[in-house]
Structure 1
């Protein structure tokens, strides 16, 4: 039996980098410290932050997340490998334990279709598709994480 223990992680715990599509060649690349440096095509750009209190929209250019796939009639997405692994641990678990009175944790805020046991296999297949998509596109993480 696989167990998931909600430790109160917030979505903001996964903000340090995102895997995005390169603006030039659409291959996966890390968006880290407001920079994109694509090893595939050489595209290199440093973005200037906007004056905003909201840290998820620090730039004025639309950057597309790479880790997206259709799943269960929705769009499944993850920001990076840690976020993807978190969701995978949650979905594949048979027992999900939550911290009492913690209603702002990422686990408590996941959409119902991800929490539903009936979607478990399809979501895990979607996660596998995303990992395969990274491998097929020769993704190399600047954070030295494994797929």
Structure 2
């Protein structure tokens, strides 16, 4: 018996998924994160509520000043979050009321939406939960975007899974997705996701 009728897996899309679909933090519908591998180029856009953020919008700087007052030696401690760095900040001694302009030390932070996505897979820059994710037999199952979804569908539905050289997306799939006994459950979720996003 020949193998010509067997459904073979062949790579459909690039395995470099730099864009991902997420849940919009403003309206809860689908939004797109472009260039999500680097905050300097990342952009979050929602076609429903017109939200638009860049990776730079999420950066904040904490200004930290610690010294002893040059007049009375009382300790002065100052911390404040700033959107921009300033060459100096005016601080006042709580003991003698002397005021000084001091160059602060800055700590860089990302203020993203990750607090709203506890336990869910999020994009790396904005911290928004991925749009395609679900529980599959006790495992968190997710797809970065429609291309990722379709690639997984092609792989899971194939009867013969010969991999092209260095097919990283498939190599990184969790074992439960590759397990033949979960094929029906995985394909059912992928179909649901596909139908939910037009």
d(CA) in 2 for partners of 1:83, 1:70: 17
Q: CA separation in 2, counterparts of 1:133 and 1:5?
A: 25
More strand by share: 2
* Candidates 159, 166, 182, aligned match of 1:119: 182
Within the candidate set 4, 9, 21, 1:4 is matched to 9
Structure 2: which 5+ residue stretches go unaligned? Answer: 1-5, 36-41, 60-107, 109-122
Q: 2 CA distance for matches of 1:99 and 1:111?
A: 18
Residues 11 and 151, structure 2, Cα contact 8 Å, conserved in 1: no
Q: What is the CA–CA distance in structure 2 between the aligned matches of 1:97 and 1:62, rounded to whole Å?
A: 35
- What pairs up with 1:43-122 in 2 under 5 angstroms? 43-48=51-56, 57=124, 59=125, 61-99=126-164, 102=166, 105-122=168-185
Larger radius of gyration: 2
> Deviating runs (4+, > 6 A) in structure 1?
none
Residue-by-residue CA offset, 1:54-93 (whole Å, 9 max, x unaligned): xx73x3x422111111112211101011111111111000
On the 8 A contact 1:6/1:97 being kept in 2, the answer is no
Cα RMSD (Å): 2.5
3-state SS of paired residue (2:26): coil
Using structure 2 for the length normalisation, give the TM-score.
0.55
> How many residues are paired up?
123
Between Structure 1 and Structure 2, the one with more helix by share is 1
Q: 1:46 to 1:71 in 2, by over 3 A?
A: same
**2: CA distance between counterparts of 1:107 and 1:37?**
28
Q: Greater CA deviation, 105-114 or 117-126?
A: 105-114
Within a 5 Å distance, the mapping from 1:12-27 to structure 2 comes to 13-15=16-18, 17-27=19-29
> What is the alpha-carbon distance in structure 2 between the residues aligned to residue 108 and residue 36 of structure 1?
28
SS at match of 1:96: coil
User: Equivalent residue of 1:130, what SS?
Assistant: helix
The 3-state SS of whatever aligns with 2:170 is: helix
